[in-house]
Chain A
Amino acid sequence: MAKALTGLAAKAPGLIKGVVDYSTPKLNTFWHYARVELTPPTPADIPKITQGLNSLVKSARTGKWKEVPVKEAWLNTLITAEIAFWFFVGECIGKGTIVGYQV
Chain B
Amino acid sequence: MAALAPVQVSPLIKFGRWSALLLGIMWGSHHYNTLKASETAWRVEEAERKIVKDAHKATEKTRLNREELLYLADQAGVKVPPNF
Contact = CB atoms under 8 A, between A and B. Distances in A.
Interface of A: 32-33, 35-41, 45, 48-49, 52-53, 56, 79, 82-84, 86-96, 101, 103
Contact of A94 (B7, B12, B14, B26): B26
Contacts, number: 94
7 contacts: A35-B6, A37-B7, A40-B14, A83-B20, A89-B24, A93-B28, A95-B29
Interface stretch (B32-40, B45-53, B57-65, B71-79): B32-40
Interface of B: 6-18, 20-32, 35-36, 39
Given A92-B28, A101-B31, A41 B20 contact: no
Contact of B6 (A36, A48, A84): A36
Could you tell me the dominant secondary structure of chain A's interface residues? helix
Contact of A95 (B9, B10, B13, B32): B32
B22 A90 contact: yes
B9 A37 contact: yes
Nearest to A39: B14
A49 B28 contact: no
A69 B38 CA distance: 49
B10 A52 contact: yes
B18 A40 contact: yes
Contacts of B22: 90
Contact of B11 (A33, A52, A93): A52
